[in-house]
Structure 1
Amino acid sequence: MAYGRRPTVRLSDLELFVAAVECATFDDAATRMGCHQSTVTNAVIRLETWLHFPLLSGDRPRELLPTGEEFLPIARQTIQLLNGARKDPTIVPPPPPHISGSDIKI
């Protein structure tokens, strides 16, 4: 897989990836999400390009690769946090503290 310039990743890309994992086929995921199969394919490709690693096998039926298994809970948590932030902006946890170079001891 060739990785070029990072595309913009959308919340819908994460939602479509999760649907693709949970459904038997990309067609089923598209039906569930109310879009075309190509929209699911493009969302997964966008995520893989952005992440610089593959998530699903190229074979049919598509299966989660180890990297996809690791990313799936991150995708689900991100969806939950972003949807929660829409409803109540106070639920988003604060960012981690900044670590500067002077804090690192070698």
Structure 2
Amino acid sequence: MTLQLTFLTMVGTVIAIAEIPSVTFSNGIKFPQLGLGTWQNTDHPEAIKTALDLGYRLIDTAFLYNNEKMIGNALKEYFENGNLKRKDIFIGSKVNYRYFRFIQ
């Protein structure tokens, strides 16, 4: 069991007892206040699936983490198994300012 998966299991035990807090937007959508950080997770899709099983609905990633494909494949498999739908989760990402360009 990886360190990240071990941590998720321990945290998940606590989270499973209580619902993850959220804020409600003006359009009625509930946005979770706790998410799964995926930094340094490039080859452990089971951590993504475990987090979703435990109630996480926000996945945080970034271009520089280089784990988009792994996360995408884990989510695809999770959705195909009928556990959740894409509309049930949020994916947050970050882009370094060096990649911003003016469009002319």
TM-score over 0.5 (shorter chain) = no
Which structure has the highest helix share of the two?
1
Class of the TM-score when normalised by the shorter of the 2 chains: under 0.3
Which structure has the highest strand share of the two?
2
Q: TM-score scaled by structure 1?
A: 0.23
